[in-house]
Amino acid sequence: MIKSILKGMVIGIANIVPGVSGGTMMVAMGIYDKLLHCITHLFREFKKSVLFVLPIAIGMVIAIAGSSFGLTWLFDHFPLQTTLVFVGLILGGLPAIYGKVKGQKIKVGHLIAGLLFFALVVGMAVLGETEETNTVLTLDFVNMLKLLGVGVIASATMIIPGVSGSMVLMLLGYYFPVLNAIKELISALMKFDVPVILHNCGILVPFGLGIVAGIFGIAKLMEMIFEKFPLYAYWGIIGLIVASPIAIIMQGTYSAITFVSVLTGALGLAVGFVVAMKLGE
């Protein structure tokens, strides 16, 4: 139970950090296939699936709630260093994914899959707008529908190895609004500030419903793709991993770049790379 909660915390942190893939962490810890099976067979094997998924889900909730405070502060005070740590974490996950295709014959279709997904992520970054950490969502019906749709998209990407759900949220312009809503909800619950609780629930409930719908919708599809077209899937993921650092650097806001910030950022990149590579072994 405790080990499963700790695994869930690792996955939760990975999902909340832009550019880091929760799916990759699932693969690294050897639970990806079993998680997919439990999700796709939830009602047929209800007790068994719940017993496996529940402690992992608890760990994810704990990690996401705790991380929501620290990440916004890091982005505000150390934007370059924080971004480069995440870039290192992304690139450090590449050897684990490349190991899935190493030694296999490379076909033109594999390269096309990689290039298409590379172009998709970079294209989203080019077309997207830089997101500010203090972005606030107005609570109305249209935004609630948007949050439902964003939740579906984010959850789908969260469980695909090599794809960062948080990065997709950032590219869509919803990363910091959702992160701030989580942080404000936790603070409001401690103070029992009912208006603030209701406001943030209005943001997080439709987003959460979208996540649940997206997870169930994509899990079966992912199971089928990895069974029938594993090499195409992994080459597509490689394209996404290579493109993610470019997209995140393009989306960042860097107020003052100094020699010290570049040096500490490079150190952070190296540390992130080693940590992710070790987790992926």
Sign of CA dihedral 198, 204, 207, 213: negative
Query: pLDDT-based confidence at 253, cuts 50/70/90?
Result: confident
Q: What is the rounded CA–CA span in Å between residue 22 and residue 12?
A: 7
Mean of pLDDT over the chain = 82
* Number of domains forming the structure of the chain: 1
Task: Report the 10 Å Cβ neighbour count for 47.
Answer: 7
* Structural domain boundaries enclosing 214: 2-280
* pLDDT digit string, tens, across residues 228-251: 898 998 898 888 778 878 877 876
pTM tops 0.75: no
